[in-house]
Chains A and B, each alone.
Chain A
């Protein structure tokens, strides 16, 4: 009777495509250590199959804005924002609302991280934040977190500068920089200690 999924493997893929169906970020998940008989292995092992899937999916969903579709034996939920579409792909019998929560979590955490300018250019420019956010949401198919605030706080911002001992800048500007750096570091430590 029941084909319900009793494993934690819930998400088959996360895709972020632009409005020409080009890839911005794509992750097809499978367990990091293979199971016997290749159970749970990805259904789209090659780039060619993945592209075909993405293309077909895009054609069916671009400018539709209707959140959910059954495609190629998968439940796919998606959100289109400006010039990108975020997809979360799950199994045919997966709980639709559960997947939907994941796509919302991704979208909303990116909104927070990218200061509400969620578009292709900003994503590319902040690719580290975006890929870390995806990694903090889904871990090889397992939903890690669905609260956008928690996800966004898990993502570290890039360091502000490179510390360089070799060419110490002893000009006024250089000293100012050093002072600035010390101040920030101190603030950071204090915050952590709290």
Chain B
């Protein structure tokens, strides 16, 4: 985008022409003039600021020249000039060289009396020019400033310390005591502090005493200094929360709430006392505190209904606030919560409905999508009617959001497909641009794919649509779909007519697509249909366009061959994995002349079956509805190139993606190459707490006959080097006393420098033989290493180290490692198909809700939830339906009936059916 300089502003501040080079020359001349003219120099500095704040930059040598001529102005005492000098020095500090030279001038200014207006500016500027070698020199100065009685001075020092954290955390940590004292200090302004400098705008007796922002700054800094020590953090929270009214700054309370959220997340035992604090903050007199507390409560993973309801009530009140921002915050938090627990948000429905016509369109959209979630199956029809009412009044991009919400609703309540389908076909007839029509078409495609009952109706709506469709791209996609789905319907001939109409009436691209679609009908086992398709295709041979003729000829030729061959070409069972294909092609094309001398090897691209492709898509789509939570999808139509939710970003296929991710790095290790192809990689598991000295994550890689455990070890210590780092992984012994897993070798890390990460691989032979295909085990792991401290004077590690061990958590190879979550359209059908059944009952006492139980079952079994059953709709009972394939491709289904009561927790009965007896047992036993 070209940026045309604003003409009006060419005569910028001071009325002079704002040309970069002229300003530069004027500045150099003006600042070096003697005696210094404060007024003129301030005008020049203002011009510089203007240039820097509208996007102009100076080259490094120019910046440096400017910087040093500005430092001349330190000779003049004028307060107004000095403040402006600091503003510009701050701006130039990053782009000029040798800025450290002015340290002494600035330091002089930081020690003047606290009522001099530029003292805080000097302190803040100092933080920009200090580096690791000079930071110690300002230690005393900053300490004194932090405890200064004047809030602005204190804040400036705290913020400067904060900015210096990345320079030297160690030095800043020494200021913790001063910072601690400041958190609860209620600093107020000395009367009429800055009256003179501000030209008569002094804070009189009527002015504010203070906004207490210093507390916020001190708290923010204190957290950074304490965040490694969990106990100290908890202590700090309790101390401050109990200080009650001493915490005057709402911003500081907001900060404190965020620390509480962290603490709850990390330590379950603290949950109850901390929740009480949050509940108290719901009644705080500041809006921002109310919102932060409500948001935190509703984001807690396992909040009970009783805990959530006060937060919801508070937000409900804000829904009718006159302020846009308050309504926005409230509906946004409720919207997010409605995605997980729609039934709890029901109570607000009346207030939310009032927001559908809000002038702020973000609010309106949140309201609509929330209603679509909170509506239970019964209210869907009523809502659809309401939405139809205002669809015409809103813009295209909003319609898209509504259509997307309805699409995910379809997948959730398949039984409501009829009314949703008629709604979609209705809006399809409305006026609208390409993006909107595309969204509607996508929604209908999904219905056809995932809600089999809707297929016939949806197809006929689509047929009607292409009769009068102005978008070639959409027509082509619909024709393709008709070709895919049409032949398997009850009356395929109906579609042939629609398709052939396109051949007669449309442009070449659509005609070509129609011919391909038509050719697929020739595979139907009905001689009369085959014959008529042949006749139609023969007519296409006279088409004026090459491509159309070619396709027709090809189709005719194939239909004359034997059916299996024709089928393989016309409607193949498996398609290449597009991501992999693209990657391989790029490699091939960029490979240079050597690679081009041989033909591209299509067999190197993995092929995936149609079922699998569908499952991936389904998963991507159900995931794609989630970002609404964060609000990203609201921006997808924005012009700033943010783009929509691209499928590549969604965490799709767990098994395959992880394997793909690691396959390349594993293939580089010669020892592992002998193991053959990587079958499955697990997701990374934390084996230590995230804030310990050594942070370790484990990943399991399964090969046909081997198992490789990958340990990523991070040395977080700043002053210690680890050598010969290895992991002793001990497999458990089986019941019969044998050791199923035998260690083959270990690839250790020879040297792990401070604050770096390395990887250890431990390889095992898996128990061989068919009977051990699903044998798991538990590995207890010990990190062993030689630790050497770094001598602070030389920066070299000391000669002598000591050996040390560090116990980390166990890795378990269990049911989840042998199953790949897979989507299947019809659960009942699959259930009836499989013969071997077994079941078991469990009681999960510690689990607080059905949704928590669902996600833990899904996680521990690694199976795909079907028919939207992963979200319980009632509080008391729920049925979860799961499907997966084993690594060998066998099918397994599971039906989990669960009941919840506050007294006993969740009781569940799992029944599994599989082709293989052991698989069913494994799934049933996999919960515990």
Query: A-side binding surface: helix, strand, loop or mixed?
Result: mixed
B360–A153 contact, CB under 8 A? no
Given A68-B360, A96-B291, A158-B39, check contact A24 B9 (CB 8 Å).
yes
Q: Which residues of B are found within 8 Å of A168, using beta-carbon distances?
A: none
Expressed in whole angstroms, the Cα–Cα distance for A96 and B294 within the complex equals 13
Cβ of A34 to closest chain B Cβ, rounded Å? 7
Contact in complex: B640, A32 (CB < 8 Å): no
A23 to B7, CA, bound (A): 11
CB-based contact A2/B207 at 8 Å: no
Q: Which residue of A lies closest to B202 (CB)?
A: A153
- Which A residues lie within 8 Å of B45 (CB)? 128
Contact A6 B163 (CB under 8 A): no
A160 to B42, CA, bound (A): 11
Task: Tell me if B141 counts as interface (CB < 8 A to partner A).
Answer: no
Q: Are B360 and A66 in contact (CB under 8 A)?
A: yes
| Contact, CB under 8 Å: A92 / B631 | yes
Interface readout for A78-106 with B: 1 if CB under 8 Å, 0 if not?
00000000000000110111101100000
Q: Is the CB of B208 within 8 A of A163?
A: no
Interface-located stretch among B81-89, B343-351, B675-683: B81-89
Q: Which of A51, A101, A156 has the most chain B CB within a 10 Å cutoff?
A: A156
Known A-B contacts A8-B221, A145-B213; A71 and B635 likewise in contact (beta carbons under 8 Å): yes
B35 at the interface (CB under 8 A from A): yes
A2 in contact with B299 given A147-B208, A161-B39, A162-B38 (CB within 8 Å): yes
Given contacts A2-B265, A143-B213, A154-B152, contact A59 B201 (CB under 8 A): no
Are the CB atoms of B196 and A55 closer together than 8 Å? no
Tell me if A98 and B198 are in contact (CB < 8 A).
no
Is the Cβ of B203 less than 8 Å from the Cβ of A150? Answer: yes
Alpha-carbon distance A100/B287, docked complex (angstroms): 11
Contact status B325-A97, CB under 8 Å? yes
Minimum C-beta distance from A144 to chain B (A): 6
Known: A67-B360, A144-B159. A35 touches B13 (CB 8 A): no
B211 within 8 A of A: yes
Contact in complex: A158, B80 (CB < 8 Å): yes
| Segment from B46-54, B689-697, B875-883 that makes contact with A | B46-54
Q: Which residues of B contact A100 (CB under 8 A)?
A: 323, 325
Q: Determine how close the nearest CB of chain A comes to the CB of B110; give it in whole angstroms.
A: 15
Within 8 Å CB of B359, what residues of A? 64, 66
B6 within 8 A of A: yes
Of B64-72, B254-262, B438-446, B548-556, the one touching chain A? B254-262
A142, B631: Cα distance in complex, Å:
24
Task: Judge whether B203 and A8 touch: CB under 8 Å.
Answer: no
Q: Please tell me if the beta carbons of B38 and A96 are within 8 angstroms of each other in the complex.
A: no
**Interface membership of B197, Cβ < 8 A:** yes
Say yes or no: B13 contacts A127, CB within 8 Å: yes
Residues of B within 8 A of A154 (CB): 117, 120, 152, 194, 198
Q: Does B638 contact A (CB under 8 A)?
A: yes
B729 at the interface (CB under 8 A from A): no
Q: Which residues of A contact B258 (CB under 8 A)?
A: 2, 4-6
- Nearest A residue to B35 via CB reads A165
A47 touches B55 (CB 8 A): yes
* B427 sits at the interface (CB 8 A): no
Q: A67-B360, A68-B360, A128-B49 are contacts. A160–B39 as well, Cβ < 8 Å? A: yes
Query: Quick check: A27 and B84 within 8 Å, CB to CB?
Result: no
A120 to chain B: which residues have CB within 8 Å? 8
Within 8 A of A (CB), among B645-672: none
Of residues 111 through 134 on chain B, the ones whose CB sits less than 8 Å from some CB of chain A are: 115, 117-118, 120-121, 124, 127-128
Of listed B3, B43, B265, B291, residue having the most chain A CB within 10 A: B3
Is A153 touching B37 in the complex (CB atoms < 8 A)? no
Q: Are B159 and A8 in contact (CB under 8 A)?
A: yes
| B329, chain A: closest CB distance, angstroms | 5
Bound-state Cα–Cα, A27 to B50, Å: 11
- Choice from A24, A144, A158 contacting B42 with Cβ under 8 Å: A158
User: Could you tell me the distance between the alpha carbons of A51 and B642 in the complex, rounded to whole angstroms?
Assistant: 14
Query: Which residues of B714-729 have CB atoms within 8 Å of chain A's CB atoms?
Result: none
List, in ascending order, chain A residues with CB within 8 A of B220's CB. Answer: 7-8, 142
Question: Closest CB-CB distance, B218 to chain A, in whole Å?
Answer: 10
Nearest A residue to B118 via CB reads: A156
Whether the pair A142, B217 counts as a contact (CB closer than 8 A) is yes
CB distance from B829 to the nearest CB of A (A): 38
Query: Chain B contacts of A188 at CB under 8 A?
Result: 196
Contact B325 A2, beta carbon cutoff 8 Å: no
Question: Which B residues from 173 to 217 make CB contacts under 8 A with A?
Answer: 189, 192-199, 201-203, 207-208, 210-211, 213, 216-217
The closest CB in chain A to the CB of B84 belongs to A128
> Smallest distance from the beta carbon of A72 to chain B beta carbons, Å?
5
Please determine whether B217 and A127 come into contact, CB atoms closer than 8 angstroms: no
B12–A127 touching, CB < 8 Å? yes
Looking across the interface, which residue of chain B has its beta carbon closest to that of A155? B198
User: Inside 8 A of A116's CB, which chain B residues have their CB?
Assistant: none
For residue B326, which residues in chain A have a CB less than 8 angstroms away from its CB?
97
**How far is it, in angstroms, between the C-alpha of A51 and the C-alpha of B4 when the chains are bound?**
11
Q: Are B13 and A53 in contact (CB under 8 A)?
A: no
In the assembled complex, A77 has its CB within 8 A of some CB on chain B = yes
A18 partner residues in chain B, CB cutoff 8 A: 6, 8
B59 within 8 A of A: no
A24 with B54, Cβ < 8 A, contacts A66-B359, A194-B192 known: yes
Are B199 and A157 in touch, CB under 8 angstroms?
yes
**B472 contacts chain A at the CB level, 8 A cutoff:** no
Query: Are B287 and A97 interface neighbours, CB within 8 A?
Result: yes
What are the residues of chain B within 8 A of A77 when measuring CB–CB? 325
Q: Which residues of A contact B251 (CB under 8 A)?
A: 98, 143, 146
Chain B residues, CB < 8 A from A191: 192, 195-196, 202
* CB within 8 Å of A: which B1-23 residues: 1, 3, 6, 8-9, 12-13
Q: Is the CB of A153 within 8 A of B194?
A: yes
Contact B328 A96 (CB under 8 A): yes
How far apart sit A70 and B335, CA to CA, in the bound complex (Å)?
Answer: 14
CB distance from B584 to the nearest CB of A (A): 31
Q: Which residues of A contact B197 (CB under 8 A)?
A: 156-157, 192
Taken together as a complex, chains A and B put the C-alpha atoms of A72 and B38 apart, in Å, by: 43
* Given A8-B162, A131-B46, A68 contacting B324 (CB threshold 8 A): yes
Query: In this assembly, does B630 line the interface, its C-beta being within 8 Å of a C-beta of chain A?
Result: yes
Interface status of A118 (Cβ within 8 A of chain B): no
Map CB proximity to A onto B318-358 as digits: 1 under 8 Å, 0 otherwise: 00000111101100100000000000000000000000000
**B155 at the binding interface (Cβ < 8 Å):** yes
Given A2-B296, A96-B325, A153-B203: A34 in contact with B166 (beta carbons within 8 A) = yes
Residue A67 contacts which of B221, B255, B287, B325 (CB distance < 8 angstroms)? B325
B83: nearest chain-A partner, CB-CB? A156
Q: A178 within 8 Å of B by Cβ?
A: no
Q: Could you tell me which residues of chain A, from 139 to 188, have a CB within 8 Å of some CB in chain B? A: 139-140, 142-147, 149-150, 152-166, 188
Q: List 8 A-B contacts (CB under 8 A).
A: A20-B6, A22-B9, A33-B164, A55-B1, A128-B84, A145-B213, A146-B213, A156-B117
Besides the known contacts A56-B639, A70-B631, A70-B635, 9 further A-B residue pairs in the complex with CB atoms under 8 A apart: A22-B6, A25-B50, A26-B55, A33-B167, A98-B288, A131-B53, A139-B159, A145-B152, A146-B213
Chain A interface (Cβ within 8 Å of chain B)?
Answer: 1-2, 4-8, 18, 20, 22-27, 31-36, 47-48, 50-53, 55-57, 59-60, 64, 66-73, 77, 92-93, 95-98, 100-101, 112, 120, 124-128, 131-132, 135, 139-140, 142-147, 149-150, 152-166, 188-189, 191-192, 194
Closest 3 CB pairs of A and B: A56-B640, A97-B288, A66-B360
